[in-house]
Chain A
Amino acid sequence: MADEVTTPRRTFLQACGLIGVAVAAEGLTGASRELAAAVRVSRPGPDDPPIPNEIVQRIFDERFQGRPITRGHVTLDMPAMAEDGRYVPVIIESDLPMTAEQHVKSVFLIVDHNPDPLVTAFHLSPLVGPVAIQTRIKMKRTSVIRAIVETSGGELWADYLKVETTLNGCG
């Protein structure tokens, strides 16, 4: 008699336990999904990375003449860990307008610790659509990457990332 009572009770509790675990797991994955999105929005690169060496300083002097550079309006997308320094994918996007009156004039990509840090500069006319440039670059070693955008009005906007790499792609 006692057995008949305990058995369904145990089954009931087990069932509750399973549902509880399922709900918890669902809640957890939901939370981790939100967390991943949050991490993606707040980029891991520092807000205003210091100039690491004279070569980068010279690039800044030549190209930006000490004008202030503000983080924003630019999204630099790269893998946090680049396995092969010879082929590192880069996507640079910007929400700045591309009209005849106001447009993105230049996009600079600087890899702080490359032998030639100014890897590329893209000079654009307003006929180029919203900035979404995709390319592949080389990296010598783990470095801060800077994507700096210059508008036709002379404003400078940027995004920064720290990308780690193990295989030297520059020699």
Chain B
Amino acid sequence: MPETGKTRVVLPERIQRGDVIRVQVVMQHPMDTGFFRDANANIIPAWFISEVRVRYGDAEVARFEWTSGISKDPMVAFQLKADREGLLTVDSRDSRGSAFSGQAEIKFATT
């Protein structure tokens, strides 16, 4: 799965200063629980994203503790107060120690 860890951060098309915006994060990850078996009856080992950190510019605005109880190819959406322009970065780490990252730019509409 070459795309494992791919992180997309989706923002509204048009943002104005002070808006409360919906931020949607979509990741690619198997989120294996370690309880399922493959076709040859071998246990598929647990492998899941355990920590997600959201940074807005330099400030950390949210941190998520995850387990394998989050569905495969995780999706999470939340609201954010867009009070300044800057990068919104989503960093995550999985149970094998791999790190992933995705970002989107918060830029205010000029008109």
Q: Which residues of A line the B interface, CB within 8 A?
A: 86-88, 98, 111, 114-116, 118-125, 127-138, 169-171
Contact = CB atoms under 8 A, between A and B. Distances in A.
A86 B81 CA distance: 32
Q: Chain B at the A interface: mostly helix, strand, loop or mixed? A: strand
Contact of B70 (A119, A124, A134): A119
A120 B62 contact: no
Contacts of A137: 69-71
Interface stretch (B1-9, B29-37, B97-105): B29-37
B16 to A, nearest CB: 14
Contacts, number: 103
In this complex, the member of B21, B37, B60, B79 whose beta carbon has the largest number of chain A beta carbons within 10 angstroms is B79
Contacts of B79: 128-132
B65 interface: yes
B45 to A, nearest CB: 12
Interface residues of B, number: 32
Given A134-B76, A170-B33, A129 B70 contact: no
B62 A125 contact: yes
Contacts of B21: 129
B80 A134 contact: no
A96 to B, nearest CB: 13
Going nearest first, the 10 A-B pairs with the smallest beta carbon separation are A171-B35, A129-B79, A119-B69, A129-B20, A136-B71, A171-B36, A134-B77, A121-B65, A123-B63, A127-B61
B76 A118 contact: no
Contacts of A115: 33, 35
A169 B74 CA distance: 14
A87 B73 CA distance: 10
Given A171-B33, A171-B36, A125 B60 contact: yes
Nearest to A109: B69
A136 B70 CA distance: 6
Contacts of A133: 76-78
B75 interface: yes
